[in-house]
């Protein structure tokens, strides 16, 4: 019924070998990492230099059948050093989905899946150098699903996606000031404890420390 641990490990090991063979020379490192909770299934983790993101993305899609771009996460590391001031993490999936004939269902049976048809989880980590303009090549042309994920990551974190067409704000107000990306770490968020909220829930009585700050 479900994908067994052996299938999962075989698929991940195969993907690690394929990734090493294809991109080992480009400075890409591939490893199989197991989740520490639940059933402890393994996934493929790739660390990719920013210059080779599109090469790796195209290889993943066309040679390894990775057809699903599910999440793109940007992170700001102000204390991360020169080599890792920012980081972009792509979560990708391989889903064995094919169009069925009309009036039939393409019912996958887990025990019969093998090779490229096995579902696979991929995490692609791209460390970016510190600086004011973190930039990574866009994979919008590789996976259509990356389009709005990249819009969101630029909107919230301020990572620029080189070559992304029609970039615009999606979650923040569309007239937000240029350069305002709330998930960057210079924007502080403060914990309000219960008493503070209880005494002054609306924030009418600003404490001296709050001068000039939005509560």
Partner 1 sequence: MAQMWITMGPQHPMTHGLWTLRVKVDGETVVDAEAELGYIHRGVEKIAEARDFTQVTPYCDRLCYVSAMTWSSSYIYAAEDLLEVEVPERAEYIRCIAAECQRIASHLMWLGAYGPDVGNLTIMTWALREREMFLDLLQELGGSRMHYNYPRVGGVTRDIPPGWSDRLIAKTKLFEKRIDEYEMLLDESTIFLVRLQGVGYATAEDMVEAGVSGPNVRASGVNYDVRWTHPYSVYDELDWEPAVEKPTSVKGSDCYDRYRVRMEEMRMSCRIILDAIEKIPGGRNTTYANGDEMILAKAPTRAPEGATGFSNYECTRGASQFYIQGGGDGRGKNPYRLSIRSPMFITIPFVAETMIGYKVADIPAIMGSFDPCIGETDR
Footprint of partner 1 (CB under 8 A):
1-3, 35-39, 41, 43, 67-71, 73, 75, 89, 91, 93, 95-108, 110, 119, 121, 123, 143-149, 152, 156, 169-174, 182-183, 187, 189-191
Residue 105 · residue 132 · CB < 8 Å: no
Instruction: Calculate the dihedral angle through the C-alpha atoms of 123, 127, 64, 57, rounding to the nearest 10 degrees.
Output: 120
Q: Which residue has the tokens 């048809």?
A: 117
Choose between 51 and 110: whose C-beta lies nearer to partner 1. Answer: 110
Choose between 25 and 102: whose C-beta lies nearer to partner 1. Answer: 102
Helices 5-23/53-64 angle, 10° precision = 130
Q: How far apart are CA 30 and CA 48, in angstroms?
A: 9
Choose between 25 and 105: whose C-beta lies nearer to partner 1. Answer: 105
For the bound state, the minimum distance from the C-beta of residue 200 to partner 1, rounded and expressed in Å, comes to 18
For the bound state, the minimum distance from the C-beta of residue 197 to partner 1, rounded and expressed in Å, comes to 14
Total length of the chain: 215
Using alpha carbons, list the distances in angstroms from residue 147 to 76, 108, 154, 163, 165. Answer: 21, 28, 11, 11, 9
Choose between 52 and 84: whose C-beta lies nearer to partner 1. Answer: 84
For the bound state, the minimum distance from the C-beta of residue 41 to partner 1, rounded and expressed in Å, comes to 6
Choose between 106 and 206: whose C-beta lies nearer to partner 1. Answer: 106
Residue 45 · residue 70 · CB < 8 Å: no
Q: How far apart are CA 96 and CA 120, in angstroms?
A: 9
For β-strands 42-47 and 160-162, DSSP reports them as unpaired
Choose between 25 and 109: whose C-beta lies nearer to partner 1. Answer: 109
- How many CB atoms sit inside 10 A of residue 127's CB? 19
For the bound state, the minimum distance from the C-beta of residue 187 to partner 1, rounded and expressed in Å, comes to 8
For the bound state, the minimum distance from the C-beta of residue 37 to partner 1, rounded and expressed in Å, comes to 4
For the bound state, the minimum distance from the C-beta of residue 39 to partner 1, rounded and expressed in Å, comes to 6
């Amino acid at each position: 019924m479900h994908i067994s641990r052996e299938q999962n490990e075989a698929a991940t090991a195969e993907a690690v070998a394929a990734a090493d063979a294809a991109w080992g020379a480009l400075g890409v490192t591939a490893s199989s990492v197991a989740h520490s909770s639940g059933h402890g299934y393994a996934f493929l983790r790739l660390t990719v230099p920013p210059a080779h993101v599109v090469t790796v993305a195209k290889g993943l899609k066309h040679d390894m059948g990775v057809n699903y771009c599910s999440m793109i996460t940007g992170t700001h590391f102000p204390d991360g050093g020169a080599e890792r001031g920012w980081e972009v993490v792509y979560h990708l999936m391989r889903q064995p989905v094919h169009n069925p004939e009309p009036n039939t269902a393409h019912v996958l049976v887990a025990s019969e899946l093998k090779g490229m048809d096995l579902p696979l989880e991929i995490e692609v980590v791209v460390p970016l150098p510190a600086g004011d303009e973190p930039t990574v090549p866009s994979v919008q042309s590789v996976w259509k699903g990356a389009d709005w994920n990249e819009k969101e990551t630029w909107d919230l974190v301020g990572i620029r996606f080189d070559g992304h067409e029609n970039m615009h704000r999606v979650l923040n107000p569309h007239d937000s000031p240029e350069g305002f990306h709330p998930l960057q770490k210079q924007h502080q968020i403060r914990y309000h404890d219960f008493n503070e909220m209880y005494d002054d829930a609306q924030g009418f009585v600003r404490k001296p420390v709050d001068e000039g700050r939005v509560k």
